């Protein structure tokens, strides 16, 4: 019991020493106005540095993430196929896929899947 306590104390001491050294060594000593500016080439920006973001692209990315998560939820269903009742597994799988298809139909009906207008 004492050896586990000693190992834990040594580990915590080493971690604390490394964190303190990293904090001390990572401090910037010279803060330069030019280095902290967004443009280091010496020219003043003529326009805003913010580019407009496409809301269509954002919606497509969100839809992709939703369906990506749904695929991650469907894949384990194949693994539990042989351990579960076939009727319960089938009804759960079909209900899950039905919800996905209804969501896809709704997105298609709303026009969120059309990239160009």
Where is pLDDT greater, at 70 or 21? Answer: 21
pLDDT band (50, 70, 90) for residue 112: confident
Averaging pLDDT over each range in 4-8, 36-40, 71-75, which range is the top one?
A: 4-8
Domain boundaries in the chain?
Answer: 55-110
Q: Which residue has the tokens 């106005």?
A: 33
Q: Kindly report the length of the chain.
A: 117
Mean pLDDT, rounded, for 5-24: 92
Model confidence pLDDT, tens digit, residues 73-111: 888 888 888 888 889 888 988 998 898 889 889 888 988
**DSSP single-letter state for residue 47:** S
Q: For residue 59, give the nearest of 102, 108, 3, 6 by alpha carbon.
A: 108
What average pLDDT does the structure give for the chain? 80
């Amino acid at each position: 019991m004492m050896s586990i306590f000693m190992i834990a104390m040594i580990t915590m001491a080493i971690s604390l020493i490394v964190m303190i050294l990293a904090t001390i060594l990572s401090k910037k000593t010279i803060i330069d106005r030019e280095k902290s500016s967004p443009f280091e080439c010496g020219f003043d920006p003529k326009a805003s540095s913010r580019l407009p973001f496409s809301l269509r692209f954002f919606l497509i990315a969100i839809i992709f993430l939703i369906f990506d998560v749904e695929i991650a939820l469907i894949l384990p269903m194949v693994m539990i196929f042989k351990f579960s009742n076939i009727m319960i597994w089938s009804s759960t799988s079909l209900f899950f896929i039905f919800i996905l298809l209804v969501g896809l139909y709704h997105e298609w009906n709303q026009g969120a899947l059309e990239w160009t207008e």
